[in-house]
Structure 1
Amino acid sequence: MRHSNHAYLLGTAQAADIAPITALLQANSPSQGGSLTGEFSRDKVTSMADGASPVIVARRVADGPVVGVLFSATTASAQAPVVRAMLVAYAGGKRAYVYGPVCIADSERGQGLLALLYAAMRAQHGGAEAVLFIRRDNIGSLRAHERLGMREVAAFDFDDADFAVYSDVIVAQ
């Protein structure tokens, strides 16, 4: 899959994208002052992008740097403890998938890229329900996902942090 918008080229991640995806995630990790949950080594990113579920990447130009990424996973394959905690709080419907993490470069925020990544992921999953978690202190992400039509459906605590569970089931139906 590859399609373009006025400003972005979106496609499914390829093996050559692992290094730029890792760099984007690491630049937005907690150790760098970012709001992602957890750190992302190259091995972790490689495992997350194992080809079992779509990973959507965005660039401004072909062969340019990855400026946005959205991962997905089946609920059955979820291994990260924080994701399992989310699924205990709310597992979603029969065809639901785990949405995220999503990461957009600082330079691209507020320009509609999240909506493009989300639309591309929905197409990949045939409109199935997306289930995701967002730390309650990540106000920007909470608001951005609400603008997409997603709504809070549950909450949970993990590692001394409060999380909201969001679903797009209202959008998907």
Structure 2
Amino acid sequence: MHVIRLATLADLEGIAQLLQENAPSQGGSLTGEFPTEKVAAMLSAAICTVVAVREDKVVGVLFSTDAHRLADAPPVQAMLRAWSGSPGAYVYGPVCVAQTARGTGLPRKLYASLRQALPGREAILFIREDNTASLTAHLRLGMREVASFTLDGLAYSVLSDAPLA
């Protein structure tokens, strides 16, 4: 059974390990590498981070950050040029689920907890277009593709959970 809760600094090592296990250098599909120092900065910049824990091990994580806090990250800059979102929108992600916990509905549970913590605010995110598993999972959450961009030769989709106008 998974416990879904807000992350604390005590979760730092477990989050960093989970993210780094799914980084490109390890054959994963996340964008970037995740040394502990970077994850500590991500936790301090986040407006809300939700974790899934099973038997005292972090098996899922979902970050959210105000867009202006990530303005120096090239993928976020490119995403915001393609779709800036509504006032109060936040950057959703990264989201990551351990291989051992996939297929258990964790993305939906993490997202529901995040929506409860940030009611009425638009989530915007980018996903590499070749990451069909993540695209499919997010479309199942009710998100929709609103824009796209290319960065360093890679194509990305921009998704939003804002209702259609």
Into which bin does the TM-score normalised by the smaller protein fall?
over 0.9
For 2:40, the equivalent position in structure 1 comes to 46
For 1:107, the equivalent position in structure 2 comes to 100
For 2:66, the equivalent position in structure 1 comes to 74
Q: Conserved in 2, the CA contact under 8 Å of 1:155 and 1:162?
A: yes
Q: Which runs of 4+ in 1 moved over 4 A?
A: none
**CA-CA distance at 1:109 after TM superposition:** 1.0
Give, as a single letter, the amino acid of the residue that structure 1 aligns with 2:156. F
Spell out the pairing of 1:9-28 with structure 2 (5 A cutoff): 9-28=3-22
Q: Conserved in 2, the CA contact under 8 Å of 1:131 and 1:165?
A: yes
Deviations 1:8-33 (A, max 9, x none): 11111111111110000000000000
Q: Conserved in 1, the CA contact under 8 Å of 2:6 and 2:49?
A: yes
- Tell me, yes or no, if structure 1 residue 30 matches structure 2 residue 24: yes
For 1:8, the equivalent position in structure 2 comes to 2
**CA-CA distance at 1:154 after TM superposition:** 0.2
The one of 121, 127, 139 equivalent to 1:146 is: 139
Work out the number of aligned pairs and report it: 164
Residues 52 and 137 of structure 1: CA distance in aligned 2, closer, same or farther (over 3 Å): closer
Say what the alpha-carbon RMSD is for the aligned residues: 1.3
Q: Conserved in 2, the CA contact under 8 Å of 1:149 and 1:170?
A: no
Determine helix, strand or coil for the equivalent of 1:35: coil
> Percent of aligned pairs with the same residue?
51
CA distance in 1, matches of 2:90, 2:84: 9
Determine helix, strand or coil for the equivalent of 1:114: helix
Determine helix, strand or coil for the equivalent of 2:130: coil
Q: Show structure 1 runs of 5+ residues with no match.
A: 1-6
Structure 2 length as normaliser, TM-score? 0.95
**CA-CA distance at 1:52 after TM superposition:** 4.6
CA distance in 2, matches of 1:27, 1:52: 21
CA distance in 2, matches of 1:96, 1:82: 16
